[in-house]
């Protein structure tokens, strides 16, 4: 009885050793992309290859019969089977493809593999923005599974001052959008957002610094500072400058691009050429400060943002530049406005005088016309008498008057 028990134990121990000799792999598949699950065996003229997922057969292959199974998104590399390659091609990876896969080849007990499949949509970008005077937001989009996020400041702030609110929002294709907002932020600090993927060792960081306000006259040039933070990798990076009229990042606002610089080509692209200036040699040393060349309008007042971007890291610096008119320009503008007012008043008075003269002229012409066309029948009647008759009547009257007084 004891001997039988020892024999069974020995057999189980040998079987466990055999299972341990099958290689195990962990494979991370990228969402919506093809993925290869490795499996190799000792080449033989006639082999049976079987793949299981969670102990359910999903594919079997015999050289004489071909592939069997109802899973259209998995297949073998048939031209490689004769060379001992039984790897499984998984098409269009999705969260449903996660799990444990087992490869079995009947040529020997040592052939096969066990593969743990993880599916992820890796982090491709992280952005940080100033949403209001009290809120800073950090976000990433289209990731799977949801990563973790942490906030910090430089210099360090007590955890009680770093109160944040994080949202995980479902996105198309089983992915997630993640955003985290500092609802109460300490002032005069650099804000550091770190996002770490769940499976891979990916760590992305985004930092934001608010520079001191700058006040300058319209007839003066000004240097807007921008220096890369300590530890920033000055290889394969880009520098960009943008301009906005708002102090905070409005989702509907589209900042103007002033210039971009690529360290690989060492050539700046300057949409505002002639209005700004950059020293390419200093940029390679981490100094991306921008010079505004004699801004001549208050239209240039606003927020200037420089961004150093490298793989897995982004650093932003916001600087508000207030451009005010010089005294001479202000006086000139005031005098010009006064002259415009005087000119308008004179023009209005001239129009009134002309209108009055025209009215009088029309009234005079109308009066003359009325006199000319007056009806003769309305004129007073004049009696015309013959000369002789007039004399007789006159003498007659004279005599009557004489008789009366007599």
At 278-295, the pLDDT tens digits run: 998 999 999 999 999 877
Q: For all residues of the chain together, what is the average pLDDT?
A: 80
Strands (E), 147-301: 148-154, 163-170, 176-184, 190-196, 203-210, 214-217, 222-224, 238-244, 256-262, 267-269, 276-277, 290-292
- Reported as a single tens digit per residue, the pLDDT across 105-127 is 985 556 789 999 999 999 999 99
pLDDT for 342: 61
pTM given for the model: 0.70
Q: Domain 20-120 in CATH: superfamily? A: Immunoglobulins (2.60.40.10)
Per-range mean pLDDT, top range of 236-245, 317-326, 340-349: 236-245
Task: Indicate the helix (H) or strand (E) that contains 394.
Answer: helix 387-405
Sign of CA dihedral 111, 114, 118, 122: negative
Q: Which of 23-32, 195-204, 354-363 has the lowest mean pLDDT?
A: 354-363
Is the pLDDT at 368 greater than 90, yes or no?
Answer: no
Highest mean pLDDT among 16-20, 258-262, 346-350: 258-262
Decide if pLDDT at 57 tops 60.
yes
DSSP code at position 229: P
CB 117 within 8 A of CB 162: no
Query: What are the residue ranges spanned by the domains of the chain?
Result: 20-120, 122-208, 211-338
Residues 206-254 pLDDT 10s: 999 999 999 988 878 899 999 999 888 888 999 999 999 888 887 777 8
| 300 vs 395 pLDDT, higher one | 300
Residue 192: pLDDT over 80: yes
Which residues lie below 8 Å from residue 106, measured CB to CB, with a gap of 6+? 47, 48
CATH H-level, domain 122-208: superfamily: Immunoglobulins (2.60.40.10)
What's the CATH code, domain 211-338? 2.60.40.10
Sign of the alpha-carbon dihedral angle for 134, 140, 141, 143: negative
User: Is residue 169 within 8 Å of residue 181, measured between CB atoms?
Assistant: no
Backbone angles phi and psi of 147, in degrees to 5: -80, 175
Q: What is the pLDDT of residue 162?
A: 86
* Closest of 214, 207, 192 to residue 307, by C-alpha: 207
The model's confidence at residue 367, banded by pLDDT at 50, 70 and 90, is: low
What is the mean pLDDT of the segment spanning 176-195?
A: 91
Considering the chain, what percentage of its residues have pLDDT values greater than 90?
A: 46
For residue 384, what pLDDT is reported? 39
Phi, psi torsion values for 347, nearest 5 degrees: -65, -40
Better-scored residue on pLDDT, 147 or 364: 147
Distance CA 95, CA 145 (A): 9
pLDDT at 182 over 80: yes
CB 213 within 8 A of CB 222: no
Q: Tell me the average pLDDT across 88-102.
A: 93
Q: What is the pLDDT of residue 337?
A: 53
Query: Do 37 and 88 form a contact (C-beta atoms < 8 A)?
Result: yes
Instruction: Please indicate whether the domains covering 20-120 and 211-338 agree at the CATH topology level.
Output: yes
pLDDT band at 360 (very low <50, low <70, confident <90, very high): confident
* CA dist., res. 37 & res. 59, Å (int): 13
Name the pLDDT band for 370 (thresholds 50, 70, 90): very low
């Amino acid at each position: 009885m004891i001997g039988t028990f020892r024999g069974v134990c020995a057999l189980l121990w040998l079987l466990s050793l055999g299972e341990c000799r099958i290689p195990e792999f962990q494979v991370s598949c990228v969402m919506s992309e093809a993925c290869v699950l490795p499996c190799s065996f000792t080449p033989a003229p006639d082999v049976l290859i079987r793949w299981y997922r969670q102990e359910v057969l999903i594919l079997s292959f015999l050289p004489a019969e071909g592939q069997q199974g109802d899973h259209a998104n998995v297949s073998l590399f048939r031209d490689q089977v004769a060379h001992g390659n039984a790897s499984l091609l998984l098409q269009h990876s999705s969260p449903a493809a996660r799990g444990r896969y087992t490869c079995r080849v009947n040529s020997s007990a040592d052939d096969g593999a066990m593969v743990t499949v993880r599916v992820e949509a890796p982090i491709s970008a992280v952005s940080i923005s100033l949403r209001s005077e009290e809120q800073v937001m950090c976000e990433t989009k289209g990731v799977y599974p949801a990563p973790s996020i942490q906030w910090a400041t430089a210099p360090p702030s007590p955890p009680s001052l770093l109160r944040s609110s994080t949202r995980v929002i479902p996105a198309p294709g089983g992915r997630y959008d993640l955003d985290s907002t500092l609802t109460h932020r300490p002032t005069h600090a650099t804000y550091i957002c770190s996002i770490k993927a769940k499976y891979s060792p990916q760590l992305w960081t985004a930092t934001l610094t608010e520079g001191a306000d700058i006040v300058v006259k319209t007839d003066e040039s000004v240097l807007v500072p921008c220096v890369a933070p300590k530890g920033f990798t000055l290889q394969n990076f880009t520098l960009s400058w943008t301009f906005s009229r708002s102090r905070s990042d409005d989702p509907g606002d589209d900042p103007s691009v002033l210039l971009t610089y690529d360290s690989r080509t060492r050539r700046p692209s300057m949409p505002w050429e002639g209005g700004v200036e950059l020293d390419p040699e200093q940029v390679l040393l981490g100094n991306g400060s921008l010079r505004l060349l004699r801004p001549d309008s208050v239209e240039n007042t606003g927020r200037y943002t420089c961004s150093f971007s490298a793989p897995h890291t982004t650093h932003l610096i916001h600087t508000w530049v207030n451009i005010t008119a010089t005294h001479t320009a202000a006086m000139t503008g005031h005098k010009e406005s006064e002259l415009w007012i005087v000119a308008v008043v004179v023009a209005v008075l001239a129009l009134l005088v002309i209108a009055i003269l025209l009215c009088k002229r029309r009234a005079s012409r109308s009066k003359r016309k009325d006199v000319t066309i007056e009806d003769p029948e309305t004129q007073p009647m004049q009696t015309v008498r013959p000369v002789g008759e007039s004399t007789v009547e006159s003498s007659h009257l004279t005599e009557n008057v004489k008789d009366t007084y007599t």
